[in-house]
Each structure stands twice: as C-alpha cells, then as structure tokens.
Amino acid sequence: MTTQRATIQISSPAPQHIEQLCLAVMNSWLQDYQALFDVLNSEQAALEKRDFNTLKQVIADKNAIIKKINGQKFPPFIDHKGLQITSLSGLKNYCQNHPSLSQNWSNLMQLVEKCCLKNEVNARLIELISASSRRVFNIIRGIDPDNNLYNSQGDRTTVRHFSNSISA
C-alpha cells in the first residue's frame, strides 16, 4: 500500500504587493485594538458606576478580544529587494522606512499605547474599589480601619464604638 503525501506550496507575495499586504495586516490590527479600546472604555464606565452586571459581560468581551489578538500569527512577507519580513520588529522597520506605511504604523502604535494606559486606569479603579469594599466590611465587623494601635503582643487594641467595646 503506497501512501501519497500532499504537498502544499505557499507562494510568497509578489514584491509589488508587499505594501498592500502590510497595510491590510495593520488595518486588521487597528480594528482589533480599536475594539479593545472601546471595550476598555465600557469597562471603565461600568467600574465607575459599579455596574457589576454590565462589567461581567464587558470582561467576557475584553477577554475574547485579547484572546483573538494574542492568537494572531504573524504572516511572513518578502519585500521588493527579496528581504524577508518574518517578525514584528521586521514589519516595524519596513513600515517606518516606507512613507506610505509609516503613518499607519504610528497610528497603530498610538492606539496600542492608549489601550495599555486605559487598562492601567481600569486596574487602579479595581484596586480602589477593592480597598473601599475591604474598609466597609471591616467597619461592619467592628474593626476601625483608622485605628492602627497595637499592644505589646502585636494585637490590635480594643476600639470603642458607641458605648460597647469591640476587640479586633
């Protein structure tokens, strides 16, 4: 029994089309990062309103977009001089050295930076909400979060709220 293997040949893009391919890839990435930026704005709004029902859906959407972005494979290209572009840094260099692509590359990088900054803002909002929630729960449990007095054994001292004594 003889088995035959199918051979698939992938032809490299024609050199004159390399700029169009680079532009198509960057436009696709721009769309993905714009979608991420929009979701990050929705996340911030939900965090500020403490709308946890909306936040649950927004986080699911954000994770799906991030998974898509992280799952993208870099398509290799060959430029008009026969130089291969097989990495992101190669694409960056190619785009920055071609006036027809440099502005698109710059726009993409600015959007990526905006996404990073917006994600940091949202992370800080989450930290503030968590700290605020912990403080409220401690007050409910009778622990005065502003009382940082400790006895010689390292335990919190008794804090008096109202007329009753509460030990932490």
Mind listing the pLDDT tens digit for each residue in 29-75?
Answer: 999 999 999 999 999 999 999 999 999 999 999 999 999 999 988 77
List the beta bridge partners of residue 84. 78
Average pLDDT value for residue range 97-126: 95
Give 11's pLDDT tier (boundaries 50, 70, 90). Answer: very low
71: domain range? 15-166
Nearest to 119 by CA among 29, 43, 64: 43
Question: At 44, which CATH number?
Answer: 1.20.58.300
Residue 139 has pLDDT above 80, yes or no: no
In a domain, 33, yes or no: yes
In a domain, 44, yes or no: yes
Question: What are phi and psi for residue 159, nearest 5 degrees?
Answer: -115, 135
Torsion angle defined by CA atoms of residues 96, 101, 104 and 105, in that order, rounded to the nearest 10 degrees: -30
In a domain, 8, yes or no: no
Q: Write the pLDDT tens digit of every residue in 74-105.
A: 777 776 677 678 888 888 988 999 888 999 99
For the chain, give the mean pLDDT. 80
In a domain, 4, yes or no: no
Long-range CB contacts for residues 82-86, cutoff 8 Å, separation at least 24: 82/15, 85/18, 85/22
Place of tokens 């909400």: 129
Q: What is the pTM of this model?
A: 0.71
In a domain, 5, yes or no: no
In a domain, 99, yes or no: yes
Q: Quick one: pLDDT at residue 78?
A: 72
Number of domains the chain contains:
1
Identify which has the larger pLDDT, 121 or 131: 121
